[in-house]
Amino acid sequence: MLSQELFRRFYGDFQQLQCEALVADNPLMDFDQLLFVKRYTYQSSHYYTDFIDGTENPGGNLSILSLKDGTVTEILPSMKQGIFGRYDLSFDGKRVVFDWKRAVGEGFRIYETGLDGKGLRQLTSPPPDEPERIKKYDNSYSGGTSRVYQHHTDDMHPCYLPDGGIVFTSSRCEYGTLCDGPDKLTTAVLYRMDGDGQNMEKLTDSAVSEFAPSVMNDGRILYSRWEYVDKGQLGVKCIWAMRPDGSGTVAANSSGNSRDGVVDADWITGNLGGALDFDTASAEEVVVTDFDIGTDFTLAFWFKVDDNTGNYFQYMFNWAL
């Protein structure tokens, strides 16, 4: 049986070995500093509600960890009373863009700063009609989320684009969540803007929330999309991709075999938000290239036909299996 002294020595040696294996001698860790966000863990009820009911505990910072001596430096100590969301490092490694929430009852806004904390600037601000929006969607009478969320707008998850712009997700669209009749929740979709915050443009028009954009090696935007068709509503989410101008949307496939799903239809106004309009006369369809469905598969979607006649099964499976 080990004595306490031997155990302490053994544990110290193990920690040193662990540090050498994971950090000091790891070829993938060939850098001296690590940028990270320090904050309290979100308390979100759903994957897509971080900004709605997950940010009650303020405090934290955008920080740099020195891998040489283990010291942590807070880049923006003057903002430590707020909540830091996601961030992205510029391509030249000199600047960082991030979203930050000042306090409960206010929305996330996007900022940019140098890694030394200098040159801090705010890139997005509340829209001019923010008070009217809050009043319009007030749900305090129904016991909604008003204690921590007043349906103010939020700008989040910024990511630098190769053309100098910034893509981010925002609730400025004023969309509700499909399964939330009382409108206690809010949908966020993707936007882009110039590097100085000007020329804001909505890229997607989704009826479900889209988050966490990043740039692929080919310049396309990769992002997660909340939906729960044939899957649980809390955990498993799909990855989608599109061009920086919002065109060419596909359901991204990670196999490397170019099997991304392509939607070939018109986006129209439906009974509940947007919808895809497939014209069977012109054989519009959802195309998945080079795809072997095999013998076991599930296909699930909502659809509405123009009349009540015909074979609905044929509408769904109009291909040779």
Instruction: Confirm if 159 and 232 have CB atoms less than 8 A apart.
Output: no
Residue 213 vs residues 24, 35, 202: alpha-carbon distances, Å:
31, 18, 14
pLDDT band at 296 (very low <50, low <70, confident <90, very high): low
Whether the CB-CB separation of 82 and 71 falls below 8 Å is answered with no
Convert the pLDDT of each residue in 25-49 to its tens digit: 888 888 889 999 999 999 888 778 8
Q: Which fold has domain 35-248?
A: Neuraminidase (2.120.10)
Q: What confidence tens digit (pLDDT) does each residue in 210-232 have?
A: 999 999 888 999 998 877 665 55
Residue 108 has a pLDDT of: 97
- Residue whose C-alpha is closest to residue 24's, from 15, 12, 11, 36: 15
Distance CA 223, CA 212 (A): 6
Q: What is the pLDDT of residues 185-200, one digit of tens each?
A: 788 999 999 999 999 9
Overall average pLDDT of the 154-162 stretch: 97
Q: Looking at residue 137, what is its pLDDT?
A: 81
Compute the distance between CA of residue 170 and CA of residue 168 in angstroms, rounded to an integer: 7
CA-CA distance, 17 to 25, in Å (whole number)? Answer: 10
Q: Say if strands 221-225 and 238-242 run parallel, antiparallel, or are unpaired.
A: antiparallel
User: Which pLDDT score is estimated for 251?
Assistant: 72
Q: What are phi and psi of 121, to 5 degrees?
A: -145, 145
Compute the average pLDDT of residues 151-155: 92
Cβ(162)–Cβ(219) under 8 Å? yes
Res. 275 pLDDT band, cuts 50 70 90 = low
Contact at 8 Å (CB) between 25 and 18?
A: no
pLDDT (mean) for 260-273: 55
Domain boundaries, the chain: 1-30, 35-248, 253-321
In the prediction, which pLDDT does 264 show?
A: 45
pLDDT exceeds cutoff 90 at 56: no
DSSP label at residue 277: E
pLDDT tens-digit profile of 59-102?
999 999 998 888 999 999 999 999 999 999 999 999 999 999 99
Chain centre distance of CA 24? 32
287 pLDDT tier (thresholds 50, 70, 90): very low
